[in-house]
Chains A and B, each alone.
Chain A
Amino acid sequence: MFLTHIWLIPLLPAAGAVLMFFFGRRLQKSTVSAVCVGSVALAFLLACGAVWQYTNWAAVNDHKPYEKIIYTWLGTDTGHLNYLLADGKTQAPFHADAGFLLDPLSGIWLLFVTGVGMLIHIYSTGYMAHEGGYYRFFGYLNLFMFSMLTLILANNYVLMFVGWEGVGLCSYLLIGFYFQRKSATDAGNKAFIVNRIGDAGFILGMFFIAWIFGSLQFSKVTELARNGHFSAETLSYITAATLLLFVGACGKSAQIPLYIWLPDAMEGPTPVSALIHAATMVTAGVYMVARSNALFILAPTSMKTVAIVGALTAIFAASIGLVQNDIKRVLAYSTVSQLGYMFLALGVGAFSAAVFHVFTHAFFKALLFLGAGSVIHAMSGQQDMRDMGDLGKRIPITHWTMEVATLAIAGIFPFAGFFSKDAILWETWSREGGAYRFLWYVGYATALMTSFYMFRLMYLTFHGRPRMSHEVEHHIHESPKSMTMPLVVLAICAFGAGLLGWPHSLGGSDHFTKFLEPVFAGERQTLTEEGKSAQLAAGEKEEEHNTSTEWLLMGLSLAAAFTGWAMAWRSYRHADKGYTEPIAVGAPPVYNVLLNKYYVDEGYDYVFTGRRKIGNVRLGVLGLGEASSWFDSHVIDGLVNGAGWITRLTATFSSWWDKWIIDGIGVNGPAILARMLSYPARLLEWGLVQWYALVMVVGLIYFVCFQLGYSRQFWTAVAALLLLTGIYFLARYLRRRFAT
């Protein structure tokens, strides 16, 4: 019943979100809380039921994943969307269902996403009680839950991508929740844009998978990847696909080089940081890689890349976290660092260890953020640890729950973080016959740093001397029950979650790994059955568990945790106004580099965004924009103007030709000629009727004289006389005419 109606789980928060967007403005705060928290709580109950029912179902169904297809979402059965696969022979239809997949992997995510999500929803009712846009906040949160659950429960890459984009959108909306603040909207944009880069990788990886396997359904792809025989060429395609998927994971899960958005994302309200940027959304990349484990196994290059990027991110972010002063920023870098751990585990092939760390991390990091939120609440919005101190006695519940989380993340036995972190370090040490052992040192150093910066945070916040202003000090109060209750529940989880994965070496049975086995089981099977691909595949030379070595490593990491703790204790126990940072005293340049986050943002500004110029040259996107603009205004417009210029030139010439040659010689020429000829002709016709009459008379006389036979001289003289008379008359007339 729970399984067949699994679609209800994402739908409930979606309904809540829709309700908020259409009617939220008109609802009472209490109604908003009831609807939104209620929908997530109900989703949590359904999720519990579904997972419980699945375990029963799987026990009799050979631990297969449970798939529930609602309808065909993309694709037709008409063959119109068929495409040719990488082998160049097979046709496959493009197809994606609106379908849900429940297996141990999605089950774990389902449980902690709904569980932690519910607790954070409850916490938010207290934290956001006095904020504007209450319904908007909860609408976004519910929309996030819907997207995240779609991401988790999708049975194919395309639907997963829908959820993937949905959580990205909600992340953007919630980071920019305080949209009146420029820094918040900038941070939202940064998160969204950086994630787009990763998403491009995801989409391309998806296309590769569709091209190689002819399907985007997880179960089909996994089956094909586990049972297929692949040529070297196909394996290189799979490597490309997995690397591209990992780019997507880097964006969403804040790995080098795309981690830069996560620290800025702390501009959002603290419950958002806890839910989205610590516990759930940022683990989506881990989920996606774990989901594609069958592919990654076939691509050792990708595995190495994942491991190395993860380890580097872990130590890189942890080192920045050592000196940050904003309480949420420390936690943000801690999150990046812990995500690095998870990718390290994925990269060395310890998928279940990675998932285990995701699981424990969700509790203690959510707890840390919520605790930080409670501290900020108590401090009237103050986030700078330099102005805190001695809060321990004033907000005891926050203090003790955060203490549990700190012990967990630092890896103190028997808190949750100890088991998951230790599992990762042990796998890093032992996998591949020790090929990744150099990464163990990185992970180990990170563990030391983690312990140091976390206890630094604790001592600066809860111990030492109070450094806040009197007014702030006066207002310090413990948070309401709605906020402390989730803290307590999470603290219990942060303590207890590790017990699920109690390792064999300590006499436990590691239920967690066993539960996940069906998802990752094919791994070893592939490796033993496939001769050629087995050599390429990762993880084939896993050593036998050497219990004494494992104990030794556990002891060492415990020692690291306690060392970090001791160092923090020594430096910050009595922190008063103007306390000194040990790193700043010991190595000021190092301190400056760390405080400025290795100048990565500045470097990106130089190289990728182009907000800063190198000398006179602008690189990056803005540089590209400038170059394009230059190209447009000089080359394109130049061509346009050139064409216009040439047209104008020919037009000028044509006009000249028309005016002087055609009109001049062809048309006006004859006219001018005619006019020239008209001047002599005109002399004969000057418009005086009587002159004409005179000429007629003269002509007549001339004629008569001729007829009468007078001599030529005689009538010529008569004619001349008459003409002279005429001219005389004419001259007289003209004078009179023009005299006035």
Chain B
Amino acid sequence: MESLLHITTLHYLVLGAALFLLGVIGVLTRRNVVIVLMSIELILNAVNLNLVAFSRYWQGIHGPGALHGQVFAIFVITDAAAEAAVGLGILIAFFRNKETVNVDEVNLLKW
């Protein structure tokens, strides 16, 4: 029971993989760009979860100073915020022109 309740790195990784898979499926299947962007957030956060999990894992081996993974996660969060801002900006500009947020219709550069 205790061992079941003890949350190991593996749990984190499984959760991260699940989140990642959900995100990939969302990106691949949903047509609404907003949802696609949200799915990308899921993927990024799955990565963050992995990073944080491995950081904790390395703290157990090298001491509390091993925070590289945590720092990396913060970078990714920052990056995600920037990406969301730019992505939504593009999306609004696009919506103004085509009155749609359907990813299928984002095909101006198609041959």
In chain A, what residue has the closest Cβ to B110? A687
- Tell me whether B27 and A687 are in contact (CB under 8 A): no
Taken together as a complex, chains A and B put the C-alpha atoms of A689 and B29 apart, in Å, by 11
Binding site for B on A (CB under 8 A): 678, 682, 685-690, 693-694, 697, 729, 733, 737
At the interface with chain A, which of B6-14, B55-63, B73-81, B100-108?
A: B100-108
Q: Contact partner of A688 among B29, B36, B104, B109, CB < 8 A?
A: B104
Q: Which residues of A contact B24 (CB under 8 A)?
A: 697
What does the 1/0 interface line of B68-111 toward A look like (CB < 8 Å)?
Answer: 00000000000000000000000000000000000110110111
Closest beta carbon of chain B to A239's beta carbon, Å: 99
Taken together as a complex, chains A and B put the C-alpha atoms of A210 and B107 apart, in Å, by 98
Asked whether any CB of chain A lies closer than 8 Å to the CB of B28, the reply is yes
Taken together as a complex, chains A and B put the C-alpha atoms of A697 and B110 apart, in Å, by 21
- Tell me whether B111 and A682 are in contact (CB under 8 A): yes
- Tell me whether A686 and B103 are in contact (CB under 8 A): no
Q: List 15 A-B contacts (CB under 8 A).
A: A685-B110, A685-B111, A686-B110, A687-B107, A687-B111, A688-B107, A689-B106, A690-B29, A690-B31, A690-B103, A694-B28, A697-B24, A697-B28, A729-B29, A737-B104
Known: A682-B111, A686-B110. 6 other contacts (CB 8 A): A678-B111, A689-B106, A690-B27, A690-B31, A690-B103, A733-B104
Q: Which residues of B contact A729 (CB under 8 A)?
A: 29
Name the residue in B28, B31, B111 with the highest tally of chain A Cβ atoms < 10 Å from its Cβ.
B28
- Tell me whether A693 and B28 are in contact (CB under 8 A): yes
Closest beta carbon of chain B to A146's beta carbon, Å: 96
Closest beta carbon of chain A to B86's beta carbon, Å: 16
Closest beta carbon of chain B to A687's beta carbon, Å: 3
Taken together as a complex, chains A and B put the C-alpha atoms of A589 and B78 apart, in Å, by 134
In chain A, what residue has the closest Cβ to B31? A690
Q: Please provide the 9 A-B residue pairs with the shortest distance between their CB atoms, ordered closest to farther.
A: A687-B110, A687-B107, A693-B27, A694-B28, A690-B28, A689-B103, A682-B111, A693-B28, A697-B24
Taken together as a complex, chains A and B put the C-alpha atoms of A686 and B24 apart, in Å, by 21
Closest beta carbon of chain B to A690's beta carbon, Å: 5
Q: Which residues of A contact B36 (CB under 8 A)?
A: 690
Taken together as a complex, chains A and B put the C-alpha atoms of A697 and B40 apart, in Å, by 13
Q: Which residues of B contact A686 (CB under 8 A)?
A: 110
Q: Which residues of B contact A685 (CB under 8 A)?
A: 110-111
Q: Which residues of B contact A688 (CB under 8 A)?
A: 104, 107
In chain A, what residue has the closest Cβ to B33? A689
Taken together as a complex, chains A and B put the C-alpha atoms of A179 and B24 apart, in Å, by 111
Q: Which residues of A contact B31 (CB under 8 A)?
A: 690
Q: Which residues of B contact A737 (CB under 8 A)?
A: 104
Closest beta carbon of chain B to A705's beta carbon, Å: 15
Taken together as a complex, chains A and B put the C-alpha atoms of A687 and B106 apart, in Å, by 8
Taken together as a complex, chains A and B put the C-alpha atoms of A350 and B109 apart, in Å, by 115
Q: Which residues of A contact B111 (CB under 8 A)?
A: 678, 682, 685, 687
Closest beta carbon of chain A to B15's beta carbon, Å: 19
Q: Which residues of B contact A693 (CB under 8 A)?
A: 27-28
Q: Which residues of A contact B110 (CB under 8 A)?
A: 685-687
In chain A, what residue has the closest Cβ to B106? A689
Closest beta carbon of chain A to B101's beta carbon, Å: 13
Closest beta carbon of chain A to B16's beta carbon, Å: 15
Closest beta carbon of chain A to B73's beta carbon, Å: 22
Q: Which residues of A contact B29 (CB under 8 A)?
A: 690, 729
Taken together as a complex, chains A and B put the C-alpha atoms of A687 and B102 apart, in Å, by 13
Q: Which residues of A contact B104 (CB under 8 A)?
A: 688, 733, 737
Q: Which residues of A contact B103 (CB under 8 A)?
A: 689-690
Taken together as a complex, chains A and B put the C-alpha atoms of A594 and B104 apart, in Å, by 113
Q: Which residues of A contact B107 (CB under 8 A)?
A: 687-688
Taken together as a complex, chains A and B put the C-alpha atoms of A5 and B110 apart, in Å, by 108
What does the 1/0 interface line of B42-61 toward A look like (CB < 8 Å)?
Answer: 00000000000000000000
Closest beta carbon of chain B to A708's beta carbon, Å: 14
Taken together as a complex, chains A and B put the C-alpha atoms of A492 and B42 apart, in Å, by 147
Taken together as a complex, chains A and B put the C-alpha atoms of A686 and B27 apart, in Å, by 18
Q: Which residues of B contact A690 (CB under 8 A)?
A: 27-29, 31, 36, 103
Taken together as a complex, chains A and B put the C-alpha atoms of A686 and B104 apart, in Å, by 11
Taken together as a complex, chains A and B put the C-alpha atoms of A695 and B12 apart, in Å, by 27
Taken together as a complex, chains A and B put the C-alpha atoms of A678 and B110 apart, in Å, by 13
Taken together as a complex, chains A and B put the C-alpha atoms of A697 and B25 apart, in Å, by 10
Taken together as a complex, chains A and B put the C-alpha atoms of A650 and B60 apart, in Å, by 91
In chain A, what residue has the closest Cβ to B109? A687
Name the residue in A682, A689, A733 with the highest tally of chain B Cβ atoms < 10 Å from its Cβ.
A689
Q: Which residues of B contact A697 (CB under 8 A)?
A: 24, 28
Q: Which residues of B contact A694 (CB under 8 A)?
A: 28
Q: Which residues of B contact A733 (CB under 8 A)?
A: 104
In chain A, what residue has the closest Cβ to B39? A693
Taken together as a complex, chains A and B put the C-alpha atoms of A733 and B29 apart, in Å, by 11
Taken together as a complex, chains A and B put the C-alpha atoms of A685 and B107 apart, in Å, by 11
Taken together as a complex, chains A and B put the C-alpha atoms of A693 and B103 apart, in Å, by 12
Taken together as a complex, chains A and B put the C-alpha atoms of A729 and B25 apart, in Å, by 13
Q: Which residues of A contact B109 (CB under 8 A)?
A: 687
Closest beta carbon of chain B to A178's beta carbon, Å: 91
Closest beta carbon of chain A to B94's beta carbon, Å: 12
Closest beta carbon of chain B to A468's beta carbon, Å: 109
Name the residue in B27, B31, B36, B106 with the highest tally of chain A Cβ atoms < 10 Å from its Cβ.
B27
Taken together as a complex, chains A and B put the C-alpha atoms of A688 and B109 apart, in Å, by 11
Taken together as a complex, chains A and B put the C-alpha atoms of A635 and B31 apart, in Å, by 80
Taken together as a complex, chains A and B put the C-alpha atoms of A689 and B39 apart, in Å, by 14
In chain A, what residue has the closest Cβ to B107? A687
Q: Which residues of A contact B28 (CB under 8 A)?
A: 690, 693-694, 697
